Amino acid sequence: MNAQTRDADDAEAVGLTVRLAASDAEIEAAQRLRYRVFYEEMGARPTPAMAASGRDFDDFDELCDHLLVIDERLGGGGRSVVGTYRLLRRESEKFQRFYSAGEYDVSTIAAYPGKVLELGRSCVDAAYRTRNTMQFLWRGIAGYVFSHGVDVMFGCASLPGTDPQALAVPLSYLYHHHLAPPTLRPRALPELYNQMDLLPPQAVDTRRALVALPPLLKGYLRLGGFVGDGAVIDRQFNTTDVCIIVKTDLITDKYFRHYDRTAPRNL
């Protein structure tokens, strides 16, 4: 659980490591980072308990593994955690339910015969939003996927804002170009469903759509990702969510070769 990797050839990456949280204190550090990013920076609405503690938390934290990017130059402690991802394996002994089931009907994924990993709560400290930090997160995820033999990854990814019409270009692009096959397609719960195909295919400017997509979403698409049917407005987090699905056997050769060589193996 203490595997780590570093890119010694890149000066910006010296001192960074990626591994799973190994203690309650490290999980709390990830929760404090999530609070700073989601609530203080992005304007999400904390519960009174969250505001009092300065942490983003819920019942799923106890069920998940927490991937951390740590800057060892900061001397340890909570502030050394500069990136995080929350990982929930269906095959884990702690598994109870998927977080995404609060927004989507994920029965197609729940019934999938292979091993399933749910991704969530991704964030990076504002001072570390560089290609290097994201590469460390992706390497950590790749190592986790390879270590546990994961066949499908999925989770909710967010676009900023709560007005689907203002997001018509990227939502329509995702629907027309990356909709998951029916056998693997989650659908937003009826009471939360917002149409994604707001524009016809010929009216979608692909370049404009890609510019509008957050880097994390574009990263999933580069890995061969699909989206579910329907967007969900999350007013607590001031976002519009889509469900993203990635079959690990569809990872491009470029990514597979890179991560197979550099990813930590026993996460």
Check the CA dihedral 66-67-69-75 and report its sign.
positive
End-to-end Cα, the chain, rounded Å: 5
CA distance 74 to 178: 40
> What is the chain's alpha carbon radius of gyration, rounded to the nearest angstrom?
18
Residue ranges in the chain assigned as alpha helix (H): 24-35, 48-53, 107-110, 131-148, 168-178, 206-212, 215-222, 253-262
Question: Residue 228 gets which letter from DSSP?
Answer: -
* pLDDT digits (tens), the chain, 267 positions: 344 433 333 434 568 999 999 999 999 999 999 999 999 998 899 999 999 999 999 999 999 999 999 998 887 777 899 999 999 999 999 999 999 999 999 999 999 999 999 999 999 999 998 888 888 888 898 889 988 999 999 999 999 999 999 999 999 999 999 999 999 999 999 999 999 999 999 999 999 999 999 988 998 998 889 999 999 999 989 999 999 999 987 554 445 555 555 556 566
Domains and CATH numbers, the chain: 11-262 (3.40.630.30)
